[in-house]
Chain A
């Protein structure tokens, strides 16, 4: 086991609520680390709707998903939060009163006095395409991400999809592959125009095949695919011989391991919390934002901000059990302004 990373609070999820929790905790001198499965900060705002407008943030008539995340990053900068991206929490163990040990899929170990779950709809996972029996090939010859490009050298690769991931990996893997086919259901792409142009150039040079259609069946044995049966848009079929299939159909949200951490849940989907503290049924574990439930819950970013503010008050009692908390305003408190670097 690697050396534990010690922190006051571990925040799971770097979406808007997780980010604002850094601010509220920071004002109370509580240091934070954040873990997020995405490769970027911002959660759903950055992954699902970076360019889409948000109209219901108090005092900000219009901001995009990405704009809100960027502004929150500026706001929390004084507190120096540490981010651990592309990393998923796996296990949680209570080792003190309260002290938790959390492990991740990257082998990191955190020791935190409080846990703040701000995981929204759960962790983003790749979507599995509707191909019967695809599970039998997953992680042996069907992959939803590329961790090591070398593993694909001299292989016949079939990439499916029309977004940035499909295009990026087509461009990156084409030089290594013995043969690469890009399959998409239409001739338009939802990807950076530059990537599309580069891909078309490779097609022109005969280095990549671009084919219209959808995979309807996989054939192979013992986890190794041999060929994909592809249905053209006119209903006719043909085969593509391949050693590896990489489907890129975007991401969906799944609750993931937090469901097994012993907290009382609502409908198996949401973490039940006390509305005075946003603490779960396990003392020291809090839940804010879309992932929690209480009577009257609204899945609004502004509700998540409120929840974070109240959560921080209770978290303070665990992190500094002997200190009395005096409620202060950032407008008038010199000590808070010092923390923000403005006094």
Chain B
């Protein structure tokens, strides 16, 4: 019994090593992308690490179900679900109102040279988008996924992706205008 236990621990099975190596490849290639996606989908900075790790924990559990070549689509799809869950949790906490955040920090154009400040405003604008529009905007405009890739991640037809993207762009630009010039532009 002792020798069996020793063998199990000291010599991981070939399957386990292959799985671990595959997970390592996924982590090395996609962790930053996953982290960035959950951030753009509304996960606060202080929860982004946990959310991204959660995505990879799901991947670990489902590794055998993920087809070779579909790793990125799987990770993105899982990231969307995890981000949605975190946002719900955050939204239940009334401490911070999006509007208050905007009122405190919406910058004027000449202040946007600071990318950190611009990013903060970007996230605030994204917070004001309907979720389905935000998701498609993030995947296409920031992660450069193709219509087909988004279609696979969201499991919707490419035509629907295209029409949602058109609306998302309109809404995004309209809301940027609205926030910069709430009394005049819109």
A-B interaction: no
- Which residues does B use to contact A, with CB under 8 Å? none
- Which residues does A use to contact B, with CB under 8 Å? none
